[in-house]
Amino acid sequence: MARDEQLKNRWEAVVTHLSSRFADGDRLDLDAIIYLVGVQELGQLHKKFKKDEKVNLMHIAICRLLEPFGYYEFEYFDDAGWPHYKILEQLPTLKAGEQTVLMKEAIVQYFLEKEVIQ
């Protein structure tokens, strides 16, 4: 199976799984999935978040998702339990479509590691 086709199939498996679990079957988009990863990484699953906290959750998710690609490294948890990352390498300048593919690859890898999909 071609790499692009495998990514497409695995991405669909992630979206289907998370949509059925968290969105009553409505299809979650990329941003919603990034947000869910942030909530998972923070570990405060039942908390209501303010708008600025939601932005921070997405930042946590992006750092965690791109960590295996060598862009970020986990640094520490602060007193409130929020993870902090340091930049190891600046992200390359990517077109919007290339950014989407990178994030989908990172999300698929994350959920493979978590054994949510195969």
What local confidence, expressed as pLDDT, does residue 45 receive? 81
Label residue 38 exposed, middle or buried (CB < 10 Å: 0-12, 13-18, 19+). Answer: buried
Q: What would the pLDDT profile of 61-105 be if each residue is shown by its tens digit? A: 999 999 999 999 999 999 999 999 999 999 889 998 999 999 999
Q: Is the pTM of this model over 0.95?
A: no
Confidence category of residue 107, pLDDT binned at 50, 70, 90: very high
